[in-house]
Amino acid sequence: MENGDQSIEIQRVFALVELQERVIRETREREAAGDPTVPKMMVVNRSAADRLNVYVSLSAQASDGQRIASGHHDFGIGGPRHGIGGVWHRYHGPRPDGEQELTEYIERNHHVGPADIQDGINQMLGRDPELHRPPKLAWTNLINALAEHGIHVTEDDLINTPLTMELHSEIQAELENQQ
């Protein structure tokens, strides 16, 4: 990772998680007000009370102190809020004895939490070899933003960089309220 003559490294990647419903609402308000800078919006899934749909925006902390954002919602993930369907990739909670007991326990007690969202992020970014890897990883916008700052990285560079998930206050409240 180089920037001209000086070597700048990416020290950490950040994944900001926001509720899809809030982003859609704010975008539509900006459009209605005639804001010509409104970004195009991707809708991950239809909103429903039993689903949690989020957008993830990436940024990176460079060794020179810059925090460079992709400037986009880089991808969206979503799924049921609770029960078996609320286990987006792998179950992280208590494990009763027996497969049948575990299934019944999850169906009655599991609510999507930060670990489920982290799994979704790791999958979309190719960071977990145990998860299905999508055919196209979601690094493109961040790689392009870094290149505009003279920092050239590959997907593998970013996959191997520590990642911090940041939950917007609204999604943090959603997760706390469903417990």
Taking only the tens place, the pLDDT of each residue in 56-90 is 999 999 999 999 999 988 999 888 888 877 776 77
Q: Is residue 124 part of a domain?
A: yes
Give the strand pairing for 163-167 and 10-19: parallel
Whether 179 is covered by a domain: the verdict is no
User: Quick check: is 9 in a domain?
Assistant: yes
Residue 50 falls inside a structural domain? yes
Q: Beta strand 75-80 with 10-19: parallel, antiparallel or unpaired?
A: unpaired
Spans in the chain with pLDDT lower than 50: 1-5, 44
User: What is residue 2's predicted lDDT score, i.e. its pLDDT?
Assistant: 43
**What pTM was computed for the model?**
0.80
- Strands 75-80 and 163-167 turn out to be unpaired
The structural domain count of the chain equals 1
Question: Per the domain annotation, does 125 fall within a domain?
Answer: yes
Write out the residue range of the structural domain in which residue 16 sits. 2-174
Return the closest-CA partner of residue 18 out of 125, 124, 175: 175
Return the structure tokens found at 14. Answer: 């950040």
Q: Is residue 80 part of a domain?
A: yes
CA angle at 79 for the pair 77 and 85, rounded to the nearest 5°: 140
